């Protein structure tokens, strides 16, 4: 029952509310991008504890423990204010946005769509923790406010073949054509 332009504005507002989600960690709230450093500092304490627990174990157990990363979860909630700021003075659309977020939304995102995950993946944890990390830590963000996030990169997708395989398929499809196949090893850098 919405006009196309109104539906598009509402869709963009929903996207922004997920992209700029609010992070919750250790009973504190963090907003992107202003508080990226503050969340990194808060997480560095837990990462330091994880590193200390590895250093206190025997070397054989530590080597086995290093193979599996420790997962640290950061809760996210949709950022209603960010979505509303895009809608301007359209109170009717702001109400619909609020209702949709309260009911719950499924955000389907790629590696750079949820900015908190993107920022945490690119943080130099060796520098933040003040030393070299001896244990792999995987930071995982997930929505907790009734919304669900589906990472499209984690669900897989169609993988591209190598150039040599693609060229070989092209030659098979057109046997009368002669093609020179260059493998990845032969390509000059």
Tell me the per-residue pLDDT of 107-159, one tens digit each, with 9 for 90 and over. 988 878 889 999 999 998 888 877 777 778 889 999 988 888 888 876 554 44
Mean pLDDT of 78-100: 96
Cα–Cα dist 124/37, whole Å: 11
Q: Specify the pTM.
A: 0.72
Most confident of 64-68, 173-177, 178-182: 64-68
Confidence of residue 61 (pLDDT cuts 50, 70, 90): low
On the CB side of 35, CA atoms within 13 Å amount to 15
Among 11-15, 33-37, 58-62, the minimum mean pLDDT is found in: 58-62
Cα–Cα dist 104/147, whole Å: 4
Strands of the chain, DSSP E:
22-25, 28-30, 70-77, 106-109, 137-143, 148-151
pLDDT at 71 over 50: yes
pLDDT tens sequence across 101-113: 999 999 988 878 8
Q: For residue 101, give the nearest of 141, 151, 143, 142 by alpha carbon.
A: 143
Confidence of residue 67 (pLDDT cuts 50, 70, 90): low
Give 80 or 174, the one with higher predicted confidence: 80
pLDDT at 162 over 70: no
The continuous run of DSSP H or E covering 62 comes out as helix 59-67
């Amino acid at each position: 029952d919405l006009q196309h332009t109104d539906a598009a504005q509402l869709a963009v507002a929903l996207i922004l509310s997920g992209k700029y989600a609010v992070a919750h960690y250790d009973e504190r709230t963090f907003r992107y991008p202003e508080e990226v450093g503050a969340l990194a500092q808060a997480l560095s304490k837990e990462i330091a504890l994880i590193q200390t627990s590895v250093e206190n174990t025997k070397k054989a157990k530590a080597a086995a423990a290093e193979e599996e990363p420790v997962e640290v979860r950061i809760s996210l909630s949709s950022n209603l204010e960010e979505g509303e700021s895009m809608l301007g003075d359209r109170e009717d659309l702001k109400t619909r946005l609020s209702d949709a977020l309260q009911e719950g939304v499924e955000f389907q995102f790629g590696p750079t769509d949820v900015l908190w995950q993107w920022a945490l993946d690119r943080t130099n944890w060796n520098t933040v923790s003040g030393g070299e990390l001896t244990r792999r830590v995987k930071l995982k963000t997930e929505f907790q406010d009734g919304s669900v996030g589906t990472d499209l990169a984690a669900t897989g997708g169609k993988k591209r073949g190598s150039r040599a395989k693609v060229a070989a398929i092209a030659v098979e499809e057109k046997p009368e054509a002669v093609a020179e196949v260059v493998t990845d090893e032969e390509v000059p850098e």
